[in-house]
Structure 1
């Protein structure tokens, strides 16, 4: 276990008074207020970068999955799309949890906007793959609406599980406060 800063400074020969003044400068309320402004100013940047990364990630996955849409049968595709949707939904949920405490409006917008973009992207991806199948006479068309629904459900599942856990935790907290 690492030594505390106080102990390390004592070992280096600092006096208690010097250590106290240094600690006061490093951890003063003024210093914390100064850095709190920096942290609150960076949250919108983190939010927008996370939003752009989620959108670009969905687009890249959509483009990558087009060849698989042309080859795989529906059952295989449902499983793969479900796994991909769940993984992306979990990553998106991490982004949402981080920005949730910042601004409720941004949280709601992201909670609606990203799944809508993902749904549209998957629908377009399946439509493009079906068009390619028509061009090359590949008899393997897929239902874009069903695949979009599978992706949306698996994409949204981690968020809904998180919200249900959060709701249950809040109810337990209220019950323990009332008891």
Structure 2
């Protein structure tokens, strides 16, 4: 593990001392605690993905009832909120390294595409079942939600701290 940010306040000695402390603390952990540390990442990622899919399903009634700017405002707010939650969960897991962020950066587009499929298929199903003529395109709603969901993660890691792909 080496520092990822260029901080002029830390001397190389300070950085090395901090890394030594972290290394000693890591080696003092029991094997159970180390395994638990690694599983926290995957459990948090799984819960965030499930929560994201639940929000996608919750979007369906809004899609069928609302229209115009009000609909897209709610979708953007929901997407940003869930995206920020996802990003905060991932950021707060202490042991994440670059390869973890690369995995997340690859998983997020799949989550967005899967959400597009869920929103589109379920909205079409319910519109046909209830015989509702809805002028909103579920595909566009899904894209707006997906982009809103992705923005917090990419903003934080690419523009704010530039931690990924460095």
TM-score after normalising by structure 1: 0.65
The structure where helix makes up a greater share of residues is 1
1:165 matched to 2:155: no
Alignment: residue pair count: 141
Q: Structure 2: which 5+ runs fail to align?
A: 1-22
Give the Cα–Cα distance (whole angstroms) in 1 for the partners of residues 124 and 25 of structure 2: 59
Q: Distance in 2 between matches of 1:166 and 1:101?
A: 17
Q: How does 1:22-171 map to 2 (within 5 A)?
A: 33-35=27-29, 40-99=34-93, 101-162=95-156, 163-167=158-162
- Against the structure 1 CA distance between its residues 126 and 32, is the aligned structure 2 distance closer, same or farther, given a 3 Å change threshold? closer
Identify the range of structure 1 (113-122 vs 79-88) with the bigger mean alpha-carbon deviation: 113-122
Q: Answer with 1 or 2: which has the greater Rg.
A: 1
Aligned equivalents of 1:41, 1:107: Cα separation in 2: 19
Partners in 2 of 1:122 and 1:139 — Cα distance?
A: 20
TM normalised by structure 2 equals: 0.70
Q: Give a deviation string over 1:59-114, Cα, whole Å, max 9, x none.
A: 21122222222111143221111111101110111122234753322221122213
Kindly state the Cα deviation for residue 41 of structure 1 after the two structures are TM-superposed: 3.2
Q: Is the 8 A contact 1:86 1:155 kept in 2?
A: yes
Change (3 A) 1:114 1:30: closer
Of structures 1 and 2, the one scoring higher in RCO (CA 8 A, sep 6+) is 2
